[in-house]
Chain A
Amino acid sequence: DTAVSQTPKYLVTQMGNDKSIKCEQNLGHDTMYWYKQDSKKFLKIMFSYNNKELIINETVPNRFSPKSPDKAHLNLHINSLELGDSAVYFCASSPHTDTGTDYGYTFGSGTRLTVV
């Protein structure tokens, strides 16, 4: 069973379109995240939700809107897509407390978004 699953894996779309990326985790974790990896491989946090509540909101254009219907899901909706939004987007989750044996963060396999 996949622990953190993102769909779709690849997304090619035209400028100006609106698109969503879905993320689901079956680990029972309380916290979920969205990270963006740019063309230079740099990974940066965008958002974090803890039990459906937004706790981290980095400097991200408000065309990006996360939505967490429950603590197992965190979706990312992007309006009016621009060329510069092309990147790989990673979803991740983490437990509330360090259990001593957990991995900290579990990442999804990424969604490669290409805006043309």
Chain B
Amino acid sequence: AQKVTQAQTEISVVEKEDVTLDCVYETRDTTYYLFWYKQPPSGELVFLIRRNSFDEQNEISGRYSWNFQKSTSSFNFTITASQVVDSAVYFCALSEENAGGTSYGKLTFGQGTILTVHP
């Protein structure tokens, strides 16, 4: 069974600090997808990144970066020079290939990390 653990329930930082959100996953599959989503106070789920299990390249997008390490089953997310607008709940999620042949199966979410950035 697949599982995602986000050990940090809440993180509080001051603006301009760097912050890393941890994500550890469990799966028996060799083909799977990892995601990060942001849920701002308005409530919608905002897609941040998708990574498939064969692509271990780290990624940087502006102030956001992701570190994927299969050896430790981790997919951590770092925000550099945090801003108040980064305050949100962040979810890491895992999807295995569906037995029916579709690429995307059940998406399992971590518990979420509440990030608060203070001015």
Binding site for B on A (CB under 8 A): 30-31, 33, 35, 40-45, 48, 50, 55-56, 88, 90, 92, 94-98, 102-107, 109-110, 112
Q: A43-B109, A97-B103 are in contact. List 16 more A-B contacts (CB 8 A).
A: A30-B102, A41-B39, A42-B109, A43-B112, A50-B100, A55-B98, A55-B100, A56-B105, A90-B45, A94-B103, A94-B104, A98-B104, A102-B50, A104-B107, A105-B47, A110-B43
CB pairs A–B below 8 angstroms (6 shown): A41-B89, A43-B109, A55-B98, A88-B43, A96-B103, A97-B102
Q: Check if B74 is an interface residue, CB within 8 A of chain A.
A: no
Number of B residues, CB within 8 Å of A = 25
- Kindly provide the distance from the CB of A52 to the nearest chain B CB, expressed in whole angstroms: 13
* A104 and B102 form a contact (CB under 8 A): no
Is B111 interfacial (CB-CB < 8 Å)?
A: yes
Nearest CB in chain B to that of A9: its residue: B43
With a CB–CB cut-off of 8 A, which chain B residues contact A106? 47
Q: Which of B39, B50, B104 has the most CB of A within 10 A?
A: B104
Q: Which residues does chain A contribute within 8 Å of B35, judged by CB atoms?
A: 104-105
Q: How far is the CA of A56 from the CA of B109 in the complex (A)?
A: 16
Closest chain A residue, CB of each to CB of B44: A109
Residues in chain B near residue A110, CB distance under 8 A = 43-45
- Do A31 and B104 touch across chains, with their CB atoms under 8 A apart? yes
B95 near A: Cβ within 8 Å? yes
